[in-house]
Chains A and B, each alone.
Chain A
């Protein structure tokens, strides 16, 4: 009998702290654990008793890079409870802000976290010497995401201007137009990024889990649909039912709760790959062509292709955001009127906010009392939803490599690559 243990403590190039433990006995994977060891910050307890206006501000701190998504999701939950109808312009600005975080997140993940896996580097920094042009372009794309978040939210992370009912500040017409030009200018590089990641060889595996994404008829929604869908199960539900449809459960080896579809009991993947599978037909023509050229077409079940899916989303988002910026700059355009916070009345109730964060679906369910103070909060982040599926995929991947006679270091390296392809945020998952 031979037994091998593979352990990776504090997986590098991810946000937060996660360990992987695999135990292999006689060529079979005996145990496989995604061990999330992030310190609990207890957000769901912290917000109890606080006034509604503070809550998005606090929730933003669940995650640096998805901060825009957490702010908007929380605001949507509060507006659901108060019955606030915001202007189309506010909705457009929210979409723009969330997309800004897509550009930030995807550029950071693709180049700072994932690319070194395929370039045989410990970090992206050596790329500054070996391929300075690519290094500068990659940082340029990441910077553009920061600039967009800055423009709309007032800061690259933890946006300032988004509040219940609208925005406290708006960019000028010239700022919108200058941003639109910058976004357009970035598209050529974005097409090259899809090709670059398509060129990286990845193991051929298929997740056995389901997938979940926000859906809307004829659109690629990220912040303005209430509908979520388990793609395989074909279960579509309103965000207010998220806590019924998603079963969160505890495992002792993870400070993050795990999740599965309550109806089918299956774990699931959420993120760029799930969105592309769900809303492929609503991608821009340019993004669709780039994706098809990269062999990414629904149904795609290989979690490693989440990297390519993110690259496709970058291309799609650039065009979408440039268009939004131009429309926002038109005095008589489709978003005429203001984004200043609309008046509302505080009332008690329960409501769920829902957005597609860069890393997948995020739900915030809030219960407020008559004074607008939090009675109860449930936050479901993308990585918490992904952990169980990641664990299952890690096992499948390890089994495949062991069956092919791979040595321990190779299995370990591939498992780490898989973790990074999921683009996890462990700090976010333990909120």
Chain B
């Protein structure tokens, strides 16, 4: 789904809004980290609202909504539904919006958690709901993956949203990337790595710097979790550790039930 190219040509530029939900705001910062290309990027859009960077108020009409963060309150749920009604195109920005990311860790036993942090949960917290990705509440047209996003990935997705594209999302796992990079495999040293089931596309950045993949790009559609657990056992890694590690960025049950 694109952003209505015919209509867009009638006006000059797509009107873009950027909204943050439950997140660290890091992916929005990564947009500002375009630095030397910032004016080129901004020159292609009519940026109407971005609370992080501008005091212009939220407009009634816009074309593209960029949403960062996980949905964790009824208020956020209503916000994203309203954005979906008005926007021609919705971009989920970063792991929190794509997979519920780190806020998603709280999903298990969620309603017991607020009282572990607060004596009396402040009214300002809003009406909390179990953390979920934006795509679990509304249809999302494009997703920029990773925690944090890669700035250039954002530009690529934005271009696709603005100008249309027949490019398919990658589906393969990270392991193929490491083969191409020629990096050593953590499993060879009996250590867990989630590249086995995580969708490729970041260049295996963490592995290149000596750290195992944490799965922040989300599960690959090609991932075979049963086979991955068996592979862990063969390498001397406890499959329970695999499941625990995977829950860092992925709500596995949600992904699986969505696929069924």
Contact = CB atoms under 8 A, between A and B. Distances in A.
Interface residues of A, number: 67
A17 B75 CA distance: 13
B181 interface: no
A425 B24 CA distance: 9
B119 A161 contact: no
Given A41-B106, A158-B147, A64 B26 contact: yes
Nearest to B102: A61
A168 B24 CA distance: 24
B25 A125 contact: no
Contacts of A125: 39, 42, 47, 53-54
Interface stretch (B152-160, B171-179, B208-216): B208-216
Interface SS, A side: loop
Contacts of B42: 125
B124 A253 contact: yes
Interface stretch (B5-13, B28-36, B84-92, B218-226): B28-36
Interface stretch (A24-32, A138-146, A186-194): A138-146
B29 A44 contact: no
Interface in B166-188: none
B113 A42 contact: yes
A255 B148 CA distance: 24
B101 A61 contact: yes
Contacts of A38: 22
A61 B248 contact: no
B250 interface: no
Contacts, number: 187
Interface SS, B side: mixed
A154 B205 contact: yes
Contacts of A37: 124, 126
A39 B30 contact: no
Contacts of A65: 25-26, 29
A12 B51 contact: yes
A294 to B, nearest CB: 26
Given A45-B113, A61-B24, A160 B205 contact: yes
Contact of B209 (A58, A156, A161): A161
Given A65-B26, A427-B24, A108 B32 contact: yes
Given A65-B29, A143-B35, A255-B122, A123 B117 contact: no
A122 B211 contact: no
Contacts of A69: none
Interface in A1-38: 10, 12-17, 35-38
